[in-house]
Structure 1
Amino acid sequence: MSVYLNGQFLPLAEAKVSVLDRGFVFGDGVYELVPVYSGKPFRLDAHLRRLQFSLDGIRLANPHSVAEWRECILQLIARQDFADQSVYIQVTRGTPAEGQPLRDHAFPPDVSPTVFMFAQPLVTATPAQKAAGVCAVSAVDNRWLRCNIKAISLLANLLLRQQAVDAGCAETVMLRDGLLTEGAASNIFVVKDGVLRAPPPSSLMLTGITYDVVLELAAAHDIPHEVRAITEAEVRGADELWMTSSTKEVMAIVALDGVPVGAGVPGPLATRMDALYQTFKQEVMRS
């Protein structure tokens, strides 16, 4: 497998970073995940805009221009043996220079960021999995207040997601002060009486690229939809719940905390939206 590290493409086994890199010592960095269909990155410009937003959020200068990022990513994609990929991009604040403190919370001066990228086969849900749906658990969202930064320090998300795994479920639906925020690794949508509802973008959630696509498709196909605060009662009383992400795409949640959602099977709007999403993907791949 060929990976990218600080301007070089090299075998994964040869990719090395310092143990003093601030990404390793502090989790001081950001990341992006770009799905690739038939060798074509999906909504790359949107992913690069979100990467820029995250870098700005941690006060780290972008090491590449948009054109440079695009060229590096396309080269990485071309070096893989599989057409459908998941490209992981990570930028950390780098390693302190000689003579600087080995570990200091303050940003080191004149440090070069570490840029690392790799690709792996993109694994999405099978038609059978989508037809069955998944279960989820709920939990209090106890993360920090800048969840819209795609930071590599994901410990809170990992702990929340593990609650779902321990319960044999796929996702944890998070609630803060009685309102829906998102999933531990996804965005969450609610359907009630044929109306699709999504929590509004804020610093308390990471607005996914798939979240944007779903709302665009709803608008384009005259599906009634609202972007507004969603209460816990609305979540628990939903006719349908969905989780969306670059890898899960549109996945129905059929049980929450052991209680069936609606009829306990994927609802008609989830099935329709997934079909619209798959058609949209095909159009992107043909463009």
Structure 2
Amino acid sequence: MTIAYLNGDYLPVTEARISPLDRGFLFGDGIYEVIPCHQGKTIGFSAHMDRMGEGLEALEIASGMSAEDWLEVVNQLLQQNATFIPSGYIGIYLHVSRGTDTRRFHAYPKDLSPTLFAFAFELANPPKCDRDEVKGLRVALAQDRRWQRCNIKSTSLLGNVMHYQHSYQSGLDETILFNAGEEVTEASSCNVFAVINGEVVTPSLDHQLLPGITRKITLQALQTANIPHRERPLTVTELKQADEVWLTSASKEISPVTEIQGQPVGNGKAGPVWYEALTAFNTIKFSA
């Protein structure tokens, strides 16, 4: 049984309780982050805090927590859950909802105390930096049906959940999404990269996709390793014809996609550029 944090208290996660009138429960009215931690070290903590701050500002929620306050929560959860998650690969989920109202009303009042929640969970081991041993991902394609503010890491994730379910019930690992113009946006819980004619391409940031922290660190790693890369629109046709495709997220780091819609990507194995990128990523991820 892991230990969670709720509004200033540390307690077993099974004992954490919120009101059914919490707007996070009723409306998905909140912001969240997932911070990956390996052997007690956080990855991209400052960037996660910046993104959380931007999301809270966009939703007009004042958490009352500084980055230093959240770091203390993260460190406490790492310490208190070390025996429950002995692998040392831990995700810390941070959640801020607008708080508990006295009625269900769409417009939000200005005087609510936000609900602050965090818990620890075990992450899968990071991908092996080995082209022969790494697990290749098999993905589906689907038109993006989510709302038009995907750049905000809102707790309202029904669209993402439905897209992920599409792949899960088909025995696949993810669903890569595209817009009405057949341009790739992102996957249901990951950002997308493709290697095209020796250049790494990832969709430019806009309201259609989340500015992923692992995405950001991956771009820094590509720069460090002098790997040609560019942010630009990426079409579905280009994706299907790419030499390599990767998904990036806090839990997947940089994972190679080896099959799209039942068709192999490249030669159906993790590619050489992926290996270079992950090697560079591993050298900077704790300092990025």
Output the TM-score relative to the length of structure 1: 0.93
> Whole-Å Cα distance in 1 between the matches of residues 223 and 29 of structure 2?
38
Q: 2:137 aligns with which of 131, 134, 137?
A: 134
2:96 aligned to which of 91, 95, 105: 91
Please tell me whether the aligned partners of residues 124 and 249 of structure 1 are also in contact (alpha carbons under 8 angstroms). no
Counterpart for residue 281 of structure 2 = 277
Deviation at 1:14, TM superposition (A): 2.2
Structure 1 CA distance for aligned equivalents of residues 38 and 266 of structure 2? 33
Which region of structure 1 is more displaced relative to structure 2, 77-86 or 47-56?
77-86
Deviations 1:160-212 (A, max 9, x none): 01111122111111000211110100000010111100111111100111111
Give the paired residue count. Answer: 280
Alignment of 1:113-124 (within 5 A): 113-124=114-125
- 1:92: Cα distance to partner? 0.5
Matched with 2:169 is 166
Determine the C-alpha separation between the residues in 2 that align with 1:245 and 1:51: 16
| Residue 181 (str. 1) matches residue 185 (str. 2) | yes
1:225 aligns with 2:192: no
SS of alignment partner, residue 226 of structure 1: strand
How far apart, in 2, do the equivalents of 1:120 and 1:60 lie?
26
| 1:193 equivalent in structure 2 | 197
Q: 1:90–1:232: structure 2 CA closer, same or farther, 3 Å change rule?
A: same
Aligned counterpart, 1:262: 266
Partner of 2:63: 62
On the 8 A contact 2:127/2:254 being kept in 1, the answer is no
How far, CA to CA, are the matches of 1:278 and 1:220 in structure 2? 12
Provide the identity percentage.
37
- Structure 1 window deviating more from structure 2 (118-127 vs 181-190): it is 118-127
3-state SS, counterpart of residue 131 of structure 1: coil
Q: Extract unaligned runs of 5+ from structure 2.
A: none
Q: How does 1:146-165 map to 2 (within 5 A)?
A: 146-165=149-168
Whole-Å separation in 1 of the counterparts to 2:33 and 2:239 = 28
Answer whether contact 1:54 1:150 (CA < 8 A) is retained.
Answer: yes
Instruction: Tell me the residue number matched to 2:210.
Output: 206
TM-score (norm 2): 0.92
- 1:32 equivalent in structure 2: 33
SS of residue matched to 1:230? coil
Compared CA separation, residues 131 and 72, structure 1 to 2 (3 A):
closer
Measured in 2, the distance between the counterparts of 1:95 and 1:124 equals: 37
Q: How much has 1:271 moved relative to structure 2?
A: 1.9
Match of 2:146 in 1: 143
CA distance in 1, matches of 2:96, 2:266: 42
Q: What are structure 1's unaligned runs of at least 5 residues?
A: none
Measure, in 1, the Cα distance between the counterparts of 2:244 and 2:169: 23
Q: Which amino acid aligns with 1:251?
A: S
**Distance (Å, rounded) in 1 between the aligned partners of 2:133 and 2:213:** 20
In 1: Cα distance, 2:225 partner to 2:283 partner:
13
Contact 1:174–1:182 (Cα < 8 Å) also in 2: yes
Matches within 5 A, 1:7-18: 7-18=8-19
- Distance in 2, matches of 1:214 and 1:146, equals 23
**In structure 2, distance between residues paired with 1:47 and 1:130:** 30
